[in-house]
């Protein structure tokens, strides 16, 4: 019998809900997902406690949980006193926190806490005094310590199975939820995860965005929070048959929510003020005279003054509301673009972002310019039909483009900052002028310079515009790549243009270059322009606060997540085998972790791992077996491009993930 007293009885409906949800966790096949959910489970404020009385078992609520350890003193003391904690070969060294304790427990100990078979007090006892209170490790347990860390001797496989069986019987009984929302008991966690994976695959958003849409549909939104956290930490991708395991009704319900978020604006409807105030008519003169006699006696304003002030406020409110409605659309009157010097002519129309970018996610109620050129434009990038957009970054960049705001993308090398802007421009058919900057580039290289030339025997001076004023004169997005590398005098020369006041060419008698109405400023960099915060971009300079402040919108571009990386590889390498795909996705994650933690200096861009996938498929077709093809593909695309120190680390990663020697 477990010693701590239960704090309160548990209602049968509560026990049924608890049992049904816990069964959903136990039924999940993926080990890392199940472990993540159980870790979340045992961090609750209340858990079930199971007491055995004679031949029967009684269930209660207990607050004897990890959260009941309000400070870390008990854990610090327990770890200090424990023979299992330390730096020895048969010891472990977890953080002395609630989370450190939780994450050091094995799967069966987590199950024991969730089932109520054991309490946190017993776990602490097994940590401090493992010989009398803990369970000895076996070869099957794979424990590093001689006793399974934190697992009480009462947490036996037999006891866990007995309580599991009893709760499983209860989970089959029916209960009524407290409201009319979807009942969590009707959906296993595996079903919800597979449904979210199906919606991600259909490009309604990432699992976080889809999870936020599902939360209000259920009687217990915390279940969806647990699912999101588990999907954040899982090491593998969706189950191979995730589509067949998805719940079609739930999938359609969530899809409908996304598709109801319309982005089309009826251009025939005027912008009407969103208020109920109306203008007032000034009364006739005899009425005014009568009212003014009263207001004058009371030292109040005249009725005519009050009416005029009211009407003025209504006008101001109407103007403000109309402006608010039009902030997500550019001015309608922008002249057509007549090409000069062989450039194509064109026009543009405002269209819904969702129709252009084939987006189903929420938050894209915005109209964007779609250009049409009479001949192909050399500065319009080529569309990559397989490109996977980060919806948050796309949303912010589209807003900046529409509202004529400057925007700066920063992040590690190989995250796809430039490609993101290129693919947005490609889909909008918006010309993009890309300048690759460096630390030695000068003001004259960007703005222009005065040159001398011979004109019929007479030497004359002529000002030749640089690429920046040339780009500003047309409907171009000017993308300044690696802008955090330029010198202060160069950035200072750009500030006036970034403010939208036009660019002053001091060497051309102070001539002002006014920007085209459809010209936009954009830039990329590895840092936040405050120096090399990563220790990997030593040439990056600290830019002035004035220059930094001219960039209105900031977008941090991170490496793709595993679902996006997996989808990209499937699209780019159609013949890739599923097993190699999963290993390549996992290897990429390990490689990027090593890079971002400065263990290696070799980055890994999408083109690198796409090349690895294509190479492996090619070498298989050339007659190599799977191991040989994998080895050759990784050497040619990754290993041989690395410096010797990095190559040694990368060989270890390849061995761990692919089980091949390179």
pLDDT, tens digit (0-9, with 9 covering 90-100), for 97-114: 888 899 899 999 999 999
Instruction: Give dist(CA 165, CA 84) in Å, integer.
Output: 33
pLDDT band at 643 (very low <50, low <70, confident <90, very high): very high
CA 18 vs. chain centroid, Å, equals 32
Report strand pairing: 346-352 vs 147-152: unpaired
pLDDT greater than 90 at residue 314: no
Instruction: Give dist(CA 385, CA 427) in Å, integer.
Output: 10
Query: What average pLDDT is seen over the chain?
Result: 84
Q: Tokens standing for 530?
A: 């405050």
Summarize the confidence of residues 124-135 as an average pLDDT: 93
User: What are the DSSP E strand ranges found in 542-603?
Assistant: 553-556
Buried b (16+ CB within 10 A) or exposed e, 374-388: eeebebbbeeeeebb
pLDDT greater than 70 at residue 351: yes
Buried b (16+ CB within 10 A) or exposed e, 520-537: bbbbbbbbbbeeeebebb
Instruction: Give dist(CA 159, CA 493) in Å, integer.
Output: 75
Summarize the confidence of residues 4-33 as an average pLDDT: 77
pLDDT greater than 80 at residue 1: no
Closest Cα partner for 428 from 351, 515, 365, 360?
A: 351
Ranking 112-126, 139-153, 400-414, 601-615 by mean pLDDT, the lowest is 139-153
pLDDT of residue 458: 82
> In the chain, pLDDT over 90 holds for what percent of residues?
41
pLDDT band at 318 (very low <50, low <70, confident <90, very high): low
Whether the Cβ atoms of residue 617 and residue 578 lie closer than 8 Å to each other: no
Instruction: Give dist(CA 640, CA 654) in Å, integer.
Output: 13
Residue 521 Cα distances to 244, 381, 472, 501, angstroms:
47, 17, 9, 13
Q: Tokens standing for 14?
A: 């509560």
| pLDDT tens sequence across 508-541 | 888 899 999 999 999 999 999 999 888 888 889 9
β-partners of residue 47 are 62
Residues contacting 591, CB < 8 A, separation 6+? 600, 602, 604, 638, 650, 653
Instruction: Give dist(CA 610, CA 567) in Å, integer.
Output: 11
651 or 74: which leads in pLDDT? 651
Instruction: Give dist(CA 554, CA 399) in Å, integer.
Output: 12
| pLDDT tens sequence across 256-265 | 777 665 444 4
pLDDT greater than 80 at residue 591: yes
| pLDDT tens sequence across 139-157 | 776 778 899 999 999 999 8
238 or 512: which leads in pLDDT? 512
180 or 152: which leads in pLDDT? 152
Residues contacting 433, CB < 8 A, separation 6+? 379, 467, 470, 471, 476, 477, 478, 479
Place of tokens 């996006």: 564
Angle subtended at Cα 454 by Cα 452 and Cα 459, rounded to the nearest 5 degrees: 65
Whether the Cβ atoms of residue 39 and residue 110 lie closer than 8 Å to each other: yes
Alpha helices by DSSP H, 327-390: 353-357
Alpha helices by DSSP H, 272-349: 285-297, 303-326
Ranking 292-296, 449-453, 589-593 by mean pLDDT, the lowest is 292-296
Whether the Cβ atoms of residue 25 and residue 189 lie closer than 8 Å to each other: yes
pLDDT of residue 265: 43
pLDDT band at 339 (very low <50, low <70, confident <90, very high): low
Question: HSE of 301 in the Cβ direction (CA atoms, 13 Å)?
Answer: 8
pLDDT of residue 323: 45
Residue 243 Cα distances to 194, 202, 232, 248, angstroms:
7, 11, 20, 9
pLDDT of residue 270: 42
Question: HSE of 599 in the Cβ direction (CA atoms, 13 Å)?
Answer: 13
Angle subtended at Cα 112 by Cα 108 and Cα 114, rounded to the nearest 5 degrees: 115
pLDDT of residue 327: 38
pLDDT band at 180 (very low <50, low <70, confident <90, very high): low
- Assign 367 to helix, strand or coil: strand
Q: Tokens standing for 499?
A: 């403010």
Instruction: Give dist(CA 196, CA 253) in Å, integer.
Output: 12
Residue 68 Cα distances to 43, 109, 129, 222, 310, angstroms:
9, 18, 21, 19, 60
pLDDT band at 415 (very low <50, low <70, confident <90, very high): very high
Which DSSP symbol is given to 300? -
pLDDT band at 635 (very low <50, low <70, confident <90, very high): very high
Whether the Cβ atoms of residue 366 and residue 342 lie closer than 8 Å to each other: no
pLDDT greater than 70 at residue 271: no
Buried b (16+ CB within 10 A) or exposed e, 231-245: beebeebbbeebbeb
pLDDT band at 335 (very low <50, low <70, confident <90, very high): low
Ranking 385-389, 408-412, 432-436 by mean pLDDT, the lowest is 385-389
Ranking 230-244, 338-352, 571-585, 617-631 by mean pLDDT, the lowest is 230-244
Q: Tokens standing for 161?
A: 């199975």
Summarize the confidence of residues 245-249 as an average pLDDT: 87
pLDDT of residue 69: 65
CATH number of this structure's domain 346-556: 3.40.50.300
| pLDDT tens sequence across 418-438 | 999 999 999 999 999 999 998
Residues contacting 353, CB < 8 A, separation 6+? 263, 359, 364, 366, 367, 368, 398
Instruction: Give dist(CA 39, CA 103) in Å, integer.
Output: 7
Residue 557 Cα distances to 191, 413, 481, 527, angstroms:
32, 10, 14, 11
pLDDT of residue 275: 47
């Amino acid at each position: 019998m477990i010693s701590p007293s239960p704090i309160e009885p548990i209602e049968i409906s509560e026990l049924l809900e608890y049992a049904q949800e816990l069964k959903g966790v136990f039924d999940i096949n993926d080990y890392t997902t199940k472990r993540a959910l159980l870790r979340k489970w045992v961090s609750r404020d209340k858990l079930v406690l199971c007491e055995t009385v004679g031949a029967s078992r009684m269930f209660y609520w207990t607050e004897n949980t990890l959260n009941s350890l309000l400070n870390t003193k008990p854990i610090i003391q327990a770890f200090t006193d424990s023979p299992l904690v330390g730096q020895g070969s048969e010891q472990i060294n977890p953080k002395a926190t609630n989370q450190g304790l939780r994450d050091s427990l094995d799967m069966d100990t987590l199950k024991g806490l969730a089932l109520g078979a054991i309490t946190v007090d017993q776990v602490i006892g097994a940590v401090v005094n493992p010989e009398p209170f803990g369970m000895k490790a076996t070869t099957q347990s794979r424990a590093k310590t001689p006793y399974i860390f934190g697992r009480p001797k009462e947490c036996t496989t037999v006891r866990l199975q007995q309580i599991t069986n009893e709760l499983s019987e209860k989970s089959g009984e029916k209960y009524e939820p407290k409201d009319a929302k979807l009942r969590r008991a009707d959906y296993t966690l595996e079903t919800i995860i597979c449904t979210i994976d199906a919606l991600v695959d259909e490009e309604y958003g990432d699992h976080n965005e889809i999870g936020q849409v599902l939360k209000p549909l259920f009687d217990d939104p915390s279940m969806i929070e647990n699912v999101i956290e588990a999907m954040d930490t899982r090491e593998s991708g969706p189950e191979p048959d995730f589509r067949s395991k998805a719940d079609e009704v739930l999938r359609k319900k969530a899809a409908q929510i996304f598709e109801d978020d319309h982005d089309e604006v009826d251009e025939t409807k005027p912008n009407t003020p969103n208020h109920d105030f109306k203008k007032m008519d000034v009364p006739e003169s005899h009425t005014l005279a009568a009212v003014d006699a009263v207001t004058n006696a009371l030292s109040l304003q005249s009725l005519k003054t009050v009416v005029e002030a009211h009407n003025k406020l209504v006008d101001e409110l109407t103007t403000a509301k109309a402006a608010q409605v039009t902030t997500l659309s550019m001015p309608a009157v922008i002249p057509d673009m007549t090409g000069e010097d062989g450039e194509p002519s064109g026009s543009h129309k405002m269209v819904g972002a969702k129709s252009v970018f084939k987006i189903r996610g929420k938050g894209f109620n915005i109209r964007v310019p779609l250009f049409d050129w009479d001949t192909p434009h050399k500065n319009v990038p080529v569309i990559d039909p397989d490109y996977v957009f980060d919806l948050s970054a796309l949303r912010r960049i589209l807003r900046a483009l529409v509202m004529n705001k400057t925007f700066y993308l920063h992040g590690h090398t190989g995250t796809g900052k430039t490609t993101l802007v290129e693919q947005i421009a490609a889909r909008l058919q918006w010309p993009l002028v890309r300048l690759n900057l460096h630390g030695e580039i000068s003001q004259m290289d960007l703005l222009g310079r005065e040159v001398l030339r011979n004109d019929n025997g007479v030497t004359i001076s002529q000002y030749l515009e640089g690429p920046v004023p040339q780009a500003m004169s047309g409907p171009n997005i000017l993308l300044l790549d690696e802008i955090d590398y330029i010198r202060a005098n160069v950035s200072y020369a750009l500030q006036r243009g970034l403010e939208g006041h036009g660019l002053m060419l001091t060497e051309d008698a102070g001539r002002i270059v006014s920007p085209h109405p459809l010209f936009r400023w954009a830039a990329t960099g590895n840092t936040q322009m405050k120096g090399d915060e990563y220790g990997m971009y030593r040439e990056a300079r600290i830019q002035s606060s004035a220059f930094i402040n001219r960039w209105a919108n900031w977008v941090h571009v991170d490496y793709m997540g595993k679902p996006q990386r997996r989808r990209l590889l499937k699209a780019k390498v159609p013949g890739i085998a599923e097993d190699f795909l999963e290993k390549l996705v996992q290897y990429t994650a390990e490689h990027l972790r090593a890079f971002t933690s400065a263990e290696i200096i070799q980055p890994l861009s999408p083109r690198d791992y796409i090349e690895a996938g294509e190479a492996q498929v090619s070498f298989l077709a050339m007659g190599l077996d799977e191991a040989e093809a994998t080895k050759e593909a990784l050497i040619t695309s990754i290993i041989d491009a690395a410096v010797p120190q990095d190559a040694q680390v990368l060989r270890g990663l390849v061995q761990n993930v692919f089980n091949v020697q390179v």
